[in-house]
Amino acid sequence: MNKKIFVCEPYLNGNETKYVMDAVSTGWISSSGAYVTKFEEAFSGYCGVKHGIAVCNGTVALHLALAALGIGKGDEVIIPSFTMIATAFAVCYVGAMPVFVDADKDTWNIDVNKIEEKITPRTKAIIPVHVFGNPCDMDAITEIAKKHNLFIVEDAAEAHGATYKGRKVGSFSEVACFSFFANKNVTTGEGGMCVTDDDNYAKLCRYYKNVCFNPDGPRDYLHNDIGFNYRMSNIHAAIGLAQTEKADEYKKMRMNNHALYKKYLEGVDGVVFQKDEKDSENVGWMNTIVLDTDKYGRTRDELIVQLKENGVDTRLLFKSMSIQPALKKYGCDCSGKYPVTDWLSENGFYLPSASNLPEEDIKGICDIIKDFAR
């Protein structure tokens, strides 16, 4: 190919400049500006829940959610072994212990059939991650959580607008968490949000994110609890509001990209796509394939080199939580076997996935993959 195609670029095609310039020209650039509230209301409404609490990134959103739920030292939280390490780090931040569950071979989400075997008297919550925009089996997870009296904290960082049985992700848990990093379907550059239907959890999230200033009284600089400075700026929120206004449009673009990759790679032996969760709408945040080397005839790494030589940027997938040195040092039980996670990590990678990626580029990328097959 004659040009560089990056793995993902932000698509800013709405009122971003208008809203940011308004924030700058009026001097409201900190976390006190009106765009923060407007963004919180717009995005939580988009998810179908009452409250949104804007924060500075998706990782701290997870930390804030766990803190608001009272999870701490001595507690255990079940997470997928196949996830971005931020999911595990957030559990560590509150002093709790991450406990890993392998991925499902088809959907690549947490294997719901293996969750209960990891539950102990210390388990307090499950964090399902909607991997690559594919909603988890929330009926099964909700049933398990109710049976064992556990909280659910959705990690929806990759799944803006995805639906499960007609409901948006983010509406199935006590608190759900989103990221607005530059590669997300809805972006603020850097940013995140907790969303919840629970008035008390929303109040606690707002309390802790603002260094535990008294939310109901004057700012007297007396702090009763250890808090965090996790506020989002008005400038970032201005971008987020503009993005939320066009969230469904961007979602459709990502889903169309996903469909095009499947169309142009149909029938290529050894190219494996993620399967959609039943009764769900996968928003195709990242277009990911796994190579069956025996059928494709080349290794994942050989194909990545070939794509790079043709100007196509790619990214490797997450490494298993069970092999992370930081988590071993922290004291996590990393002795288990996670074969599906290992298979994904060793054989999978991202293809370019920007919302506005032209069809001709997708076709060109797929042609390289087809032509390189042995």
Q: Which residues are catalytic?
A: 184
- State the Cα–Cα distance between residues 187 and 271, nearest whole angstrom: 30
- State the Cα–Cα distance between residues 39 and 262, nearest whole angstrom: 34
Which residues have a Cβ under 8 Å from the Cβ of 63 and sit 6 or more positions away? 90, 93, 94, 228, 230
- State the Cα–Cα distance between residues 24 and 235, nearest whole angstrom: 8
Look at the block and give the residue holding tokens 């739920």.
Answer: 69
Residue 111's alpha-carbon distances to 104, 125, 132, 276, 282, in angstroms, are: 4, 16, 15, 14, 17
Q: What is the residue type of 187?
A: T
Which residues have a Cβ under 8 Å from the Cβ of 152 and sit 6 or more positions away? 125, 126, 127, 128, 141, 142, 145, 172, 173, 174
Q: What angle do CA 104, 106, 112 make, to 5 degrees?
A: 30
316 DSSP 8-state letter: E
Instruction: Let me know: does 71 contact 94? Beta carbons within 8 Å.
Output: yes
- State the Cα–Cα distance between residues 366 and 344, nearest whole angstrom: 20
Q: Give the distance from CA 97 to its chain's centroid.
A: 20
Q: Tell me whether strands 348-351 and 287-291 are parallel, antiparallel or unpaired.
A: antiparallel
Residue 282's alpha-carbon distances to 132, 259, 335, in angstroms, are: 8, 11, 32
- State the Cα–Cα distance between residues 138 and 154, nearest whole angstrom: 10
Instruction: Let me know: does 194 contact 55? Beta carbons within 8 Å.
Output: yes
Instruction: Let me know: does 130 contact 109? Beta carbons within 8 Å.
Output: yes
- State the Cα–Cα distance between residues 359 and 91, nearest whole angstrom: 40
Among 94, 174, 179, CA closest to 130: 179
